[in-house]
Amino acid sequence: MSFLSGSVPDKLASVPAQAGVLLLVYWLVWIIYSRTFHPLAKVPGPIWPSLSRTWLMYRMYIGDYQLSQEALHKKYGSLIRIAPNELAYSNPDGVPVIYRISNPLEKTDWYHTWKGAGLKSQIDMFSITNEKKHTAYRRAIGGVYSLTSILKNEELMNRNVTMLLDRLDGFVERAEEVDLGLWLEMYAYDNIGSVFFGKPFGFLESSSDHGGYIAAVHKAMPFLSVVSMAPSYARSALMVVAAAVPSLLRAVLAVDDIRKTAVRETEEAMARKSDSQRHDMLTRLLKVVEDAGDKTGVTHHEVTGEMWVAVIAGADSTAGGLRAVIYHVVKHPTVMSKLIAEIDSAYANGTLTHPEQHSQVTTLPYLMAVCKEAARVWPSFQVIMPRYAPAQGLRLPNGFFVPSGYGVGMNPFVVQRDTDLFGVDADDFRPERWLEADASQLRRMNAAMLSFGAGTRTCTGQHLAMAEIYKIIPEILRRFTISMPPEKEWTAFNASFNLTSGVVCDIKRREI
C-alpha cells in the first residue's frame, strides 16, 4: 500500500532506481552463473569473454583479434573460452574432430552476417550453415569450381598478368615507388571479373579503384566484423547504425553496387543465347540451372549469390594472400634470391615460358614452398571458424566435453603457428620447412593448414586464388627488382579477413 499512497512524481522517480537495482541483481546472478555453474565455466580464460560477446566485438573493433587470441592460448592453454557460449581450440589435433568429414558439425550463426543483404538467394557456399543443404548444393555446383574448370579461363587470366606487368613498367619508367599491395588487389579483382563474368572489371585498364569496390570493402568489412561478433539478437540493430554514420553509409551503398553488379550480370547472361565457347563461372552456373535446376533447387538467384560472394570475399582474400607472399619475400632477401634463382633457371631450361602457364609454375618446388609458407604465417582469414557441438555433444582431443549447441572453432593464424608441429621457429617465415620435412611430418603439417578451411567446408575458391598467386609472383620477380626499406612495415587490421596495406616498394627492371 505504500507505493499506492505515494505521489505520482515520487512513484515515477523510483522507477529508474528500481530498474537499476534489477539490472545490478541480474548481472550479479549472471556473473555467478557464468563463472561457476555454466557448462563452460571450467574452461580457462579471462573474465570478460566469459560474460559477454562484447570482448570479441572490441577486439574486432581494435583489429588485433588474432594476436589477442594467440596471447590467451599462450597464457591459458590450447582450450580457452572466448565468449559465454563459445570456445577456441588451438592444438592441430582438433582439426579432424571439429572439422570432421563424416557427420560434419554445422556452422554457427556467425556466418549469417556475411549473406548479401537484398539478395534473393537461399543458399551460397560460404554462409549456408545447414550441412545437408550444403552437401546437396555443393554436389550440384562444385564441379564449376574445380581446377580444370578454372583453367579453361587461363588465357583471360594471362591478359590480366600482362596488363599488371605493363602498369608496373610505368612506375619503373617514371622512377616512382609503387603500392604493390594495391596493384595486386586490382589484379585480383580483375581476375574475379574475368573468371566469373568473362571480362575484367577494369581496375588495371583504368589504373583506378573501379566503382570504389576496394574502398567500399575496406570500409565495410571492419564494421561487419564487429556486427558478426555481436549476439544474434543485436545484429539487426547494429546494422541500422550504419545509416547514421555517413562514412559507413557510403560504404554500404558502394557494397550494394557490387550486389547490383552481380544481379545485372546474371540477368544479362540469362538473356544471352547459350554459348559453348564461354567458360566463365557465371555461364557455367547458369548451365547448371538450365540442365538440372528443377532437381537441385539451384535457381538464378543462387547464381547471383555466388557472384556476390566471389566479389566480396574472393578478391580481397586473394589479394591478402598475394600481399603476404610479396611482403614476406621482399622482407627476406635470402628467400628472394633463392626464388629468383629457381625462376631464372626454369626459364633457362625451358620449364617456364611467357606467359607462364599454371602447369609450368606448379613444378617449381621452392615457389610452392614460399607460397605455402606465406599462407601459413599469414592466412587471409584470421578468426575462428565456429561450429556447433552436435546433439550428442563433442569430445575434444584434450578430453573436454562440449555440450550440444555450444560453439567451438579454430583460428588458422593460431593453429598454423603451433610450435610442437611447425617447430620452435613457427613464427618465422621459413619456406625450407616444407622441403625438409619427411613424408609423415609433411602430412601432419598439411593437415593443420586451415588457410582455406577444412573438412567439408574447404573454400571452393581456393583453386582460383592459388592460380592467381602462382601465375603472377614468378612473372613479377623475373622482370623486376623489388625492395622495401628495412624499417618500413606493412599495416594490418583484422576484419575477419585480415586487411593489409602499406606494401609500398621501390621497383626497377631486371637485366635478363
Q: What is the pLDDT of residues 393-421, one digit of tens each?
A: 999 999 999 999 999 999 999 999 999 99
160 falls in which pLDDT band (50, 70, 90)? very high
Q: Is residue 457 pLDDT above 60, yes or no?
A: yes
Minimal CA–CA distance to 339: which of 422, 423, 432, 425? 432
Give 371-380 pLDDT, tens digit per residue: 999 999 999 9
Residue 29 identity: V
Residue 459, marked binder = yes
4 falls in which pLDDT band (50, 70, 90)? very low
Q: Is residue 5 pLDDT above 60, yes or no?
A: no
Q: Is residue 461 pLDDT above 60, yes or no?
A: yes
* Cα 285 from Cα 300, distance rounded (Å): 8
- Considering the chain, what is the average pLDDT of its residues? 91
User: What does the DSSP assignment read for 325-345?
Assistant: HHHHHHT-HHHHHHHHHHHHH
pLDDT on residue 293: 66
- Find out whether 321 and 374 touch, Cβ atoms under 8 Å: yes
Give 21-58 pLDDT, tens digit per residue: 888 898 899 999 999 999 999 999 999 999 999 999 99
User: What does the DSSP assignment read for 162-228?
Assistant: HHHHHHHHHHHHHT--EEHHHHHHHHHHHHHIIIIISS--SHHHHTS-GGGHHHHHHHHHHHHHHHH
Per-domain boundaries in the chain: 1-37, 124-213+254-381+451-512
Give 300-351 pLDDT, tens digit per residue: 888 888 888 888 888 999 999 999 999 999 999 999 999 999 999 999 999 9
pLDDT on residue 119: 67
Q: Is residue 172 pLDDT above 70, yes or no?
A: yes
Mean pLDDT, to the nearest integer, of 228-244?
Answer: 88
* Cα 422 from Cα 252, distance rounded (Å): 41
- Find out whether 476 and 171 touch, Cβ atoms under 8 Å: no
pLDDT on residue 1: 44
Mean pLDDT, to the nearest integer, of 116-132?
Answer: 74
Strand partners, 408: 87, 387
Q: Which residue has the higher pLDDT, 344 or 15?
A: 344
CATH tag, 124-213+254-381+451-512: 1.10.630.10
SS3 content of the chain, % helix, strand, coil (to 5): 60, 10, 30
Mean pLDDT, to the nearest integer, of 131-152?
Answer: 89
Mean pLDDT, to the nearest integer, of 270-296?
Answer: 79
- Find out whether 383 and 494 touch, Cβ atoms under 8 Å: yes
pLDDT on residue 16: 77
